Amino acid sequence: MSYRGHFTVSQDSQVIFTYAAGGWDVMTARDYCASFKKAAANVYHKPWAHILLLDDWILATPEVEPVILDLAHWSVANKLLCTAKVYRENMLKQYQLAKMNPVSSATYCQQEFTEQQAALDWLAGEGFKVDCNQFESGKV
């Protein structure tokens, strides 16, 4: 049985967009990190934000957690200010995401949303206005 998920990463202005789907193994996580850092190279010269669409993400193997946590710490060290995570309420997903993300601080904040528009509105309020067309069909 394959446990390999998939993703897309795109960038608009100072915002990185991630769509994640399926169950992630460590290979998927490493591929994602490479794609994410490539996109972030276009924005990390000044403050930036990240929005993730996670409704179709099924969870990850435990080996993925430190890989994504390292990426999250790298992101915050490279001027990531805000992260918006969009997914239907799911306690297991929330638990695993908490293990893979740094806690909010004076220089970094994150929020969870059940609707994309609420996440986009929050990012706009944080100074990161984005093009809603990035989310056609709910995927970036």
Q: Which residues contact 43 (CB under 8 A, 6 or more apart)?
A: 11, 13, 14, 15, 16
Pick from 39, 41, 48: nearest CA to 11: 39
* Residue showing tokens 């930036």: 48
Per residue in 53-83, pLDDT tens?
999 999 999 999 999 999 999 999 999 999 9
Domains, the chain, ordered by start: 6-134 (3.30.750.24)
- The tens digit of pLDDT for each residue in 92-131 reads 999 999 999 888 888 999 999 999 999 999 999 999 998 7
Instruction: Please report which residue ranges of 41-90 form alpha helices under DSSP H.
Output: 64-77
Expressed in angstroms, the distance from the first to the final Cα of the chain is 27
Which structure tokens are listed for 60? Answer: 């990850």
